[in-house]
Amino acid sequence: MSKKSCLNCGHTISGEFCSHCGQKSDTARITPHSLIKNDILGSIWHVEAKFFHTLKDVLFKPGQTAMDYISGKRIKYYNLFSLLLILFGFNVLALHFYLDLNPQEIPADSSNIMSFFSKYSKTILFALIPILAFNAFIIFKRMKLNFAEHIIIASVSLSAILTILLLDDVISIIGTYDPLSNIINILDKILVYGLLLFPAFTYFNAFKNSYSKSGLFWRLSVFYVILGIEIFTIIILIYKIF
């Protein structure tokens, strides 16, 4: 295979990419065809494909996705923390859109509570990451993962939770069309249960080969009891302080 110099950094390259800076070796003069095919359509497809692939994996095999990421298999995944921010932004937009369509859905005496959660929802949601990570670090000691690695698992779980929340918002918006309201109410309840159980699904999917079913069951039970106490305490503290 012939060797040539990288046009970006000058290092000798012999493969498809430069081993020093990562630029492709076939970089050539920009033409209208290459601009549309490679720079515009190629970049959009690359980002979208990776984004939706990551979204699919965090929903259907979150534990395995997190463990793959921790083990170093990262090139095929969208950045987890960028994914979290994007999903949170979509959730905020969908919720505001739903409330604009259904202002009567909020009782007058609940407006202060809704205002509080609207203002501090980001703080509460992202506080879940270190909480989930700390609890799992204590309860699943056998895995010998450090706290940062548990942060990755918690981030994957929260990404899926935000995706389910977004889907629930979209379904609720569709439910404003009266003929579909009964079906939408059933789907809404299913999604709520999915939200509550998803952390358990994540850790089961991640650690099912390392613990017996009974061992996972009691650990997850303890995990949920502690998590419930922590979330309740955080909400009360934020509400009292602010």
Name the band, by pLDDT with cuts 50, 70 and 90, for residue 215.
very high
Check pLDDT > 70 for residue 37: no
Q: What are the tokens at 15?
A: 């493969």
Lowest mean pLDDT segment, chosen from 17-26, 52-61, 80-89, 98-107: 98-107
- The tokens 């992202």 sit on which residue? 126
Q: Supply the pLDDT for residue 1.
A: 47
Return the H-helix or E-strand segment holding 4: strand 4-5
Rounded Cα distance, 228 and 128, in Å = 11
In sequence order, the 6+-apart residues with CB closer than 8 A to the CB of 229 are: none
Average pLDDT over residues 28-43: 56
Rounded Cα distance, 194 and 214, in Å = 21
Name beta bridge partners: 5: 12
Q: What are the tokens at 154?
A: 């918690």
- The share of the chain scoring above pLDDT 70, in percent, equals 72
Could you tell me which residue, 120 or 89, shows the higher pLDDT?
89
**pTM, whole model, 2 decimals?**
0.76
